[in-house]
């Protein structure tokens, strides 16, 4: 069984990815490898931030690993909040304030097109590979639903009449940006064996 480090301690993300990558890989968190460093995401793109995490783990621990970065891009806001999605309103992880800021900045703008994007930087045997997953949708005028996290209550994926926050975890995982990026990475990893 191959060990693969996911550069996160987010239990929700670990669970989501573990369910997808199959049994030939043992997924490890940062805690599992005793990494307590604060890996600063100083990049200006999702690709840069994902690579910062994977390169740090590879350089420090010499392990196969991957890092991810994701966020919401709203067309009418020049793709904001983008890499600043978690701290758009100032304080990191204040989901309610972040949602308020997106809704306020959009106002009554009729262009509500948006997407969630996840980029994964995988370093396997010293080589870096990048996988990109997106899900297109629109921003609702008000919140709906109580599941999920982040911008889920205002994001309605194309082809659905409910938000991510109204979906079950199983529904969301079949179409989400992270699921799509993980599927691409999994196809690559399965091709190695």
Annotated catalytic sites, by residue? 69
Residue 81 preceded by cis peptide, ω within 30: yes
Is 163 annotated in some ligand binding site? Answer: no
Contacts of 172 (CB under 8 A, 6+ apart): 147, 148, 152, 164, 179
Is 149 annotated in some ligand binding site? Answer: yes
| Element counts in the chain: helices (H) and strands (E) | 5, 7
Is 53 annotated in some ligand binding site? Answer: no
Is 145 annotated in some ligand binding site? Answer: no
What is residue 4's three-state secondary structure?
A: strand
Is 132 annotated in some ligand binding site? Answer: no
Is 11 annotated in some ligand binding site? Answer: yes
Is 150 annotated in some ligand binding site? Answer: yes
Is 69 annotated in some ligand binding site? Answer: yes
Is 129 annotated in some ligand binding site? Answer: no
User: Rounded distance, CA 100 to CA 89, Å?
Assistant: 8
Point out which residues pair with 138 in neighbouring strands: 113, 156
User: Rounded distance, CA 3 to CA 159, Å?
Assistant: 37
3-state secondary structure 137-186: EEECCCCCCCCCCCCHHHEEECCCCCCHHHCCHHHHHHHCHHHHHHHHHH
Q: Give backbone dihedrals phi and psi of 5, rounded to 5 degrees, phi first.
A: -90, 130
Is 141 annotated in some ligand binding site? Answer: no
Is 82 annotated in some ligand binding site? Answer: no
User: Rounded distance, CA 165 to CA 143, Å?
Assistant: 9
Residues annotated in a binding site for substrate: 8-13, 70, 149-152, 172, 177-178
Residues annotated in a binding site: 8-13, 69-70, 149-152, 172, 177-178
Residues annotated in a binding site for Mg(2+): 69
């Amino acid at each position: 069984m191959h060990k693969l480090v996911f550069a996160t301690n987010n239990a929700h993300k670990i669970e989501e990815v573990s369910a997808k990558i199959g049994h030939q890989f043992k997924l490890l968190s940062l805690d599992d490898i005793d990494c307590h460093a604060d890996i600063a995401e100083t990049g200006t793109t999702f690709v840069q931030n994902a690579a910062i995490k994977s390169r740090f783990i590879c350089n420090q621990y010499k392990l196969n690993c991957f890092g991810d970065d994701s966020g919401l891009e709203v067309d009418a806001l020049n793709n904001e909040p983008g890499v600043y999605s978690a701290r758009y309103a100032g304080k990191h992880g204040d989901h309610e304030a972040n949602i308020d800021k997106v809704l306020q900045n959009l106002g009554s703008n009729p262009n509500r097109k948006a997407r969630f994007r996840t980029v994964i930087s995988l370093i396997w045997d010293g080589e870096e590979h990048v996988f990109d997953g997106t899900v297109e949708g629109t921003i609702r005028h008000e919140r709906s639903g109580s599941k999920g996290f982040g911008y889920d209550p205002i994001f309605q994926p194309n082809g659905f009449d409910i938000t991510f926050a109204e979906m079950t975890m199983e529904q969301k995982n079949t179409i989400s940006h992270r699921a799509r990026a993980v599927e691409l990475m999994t196809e690559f990893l399965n091709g190695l064996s």
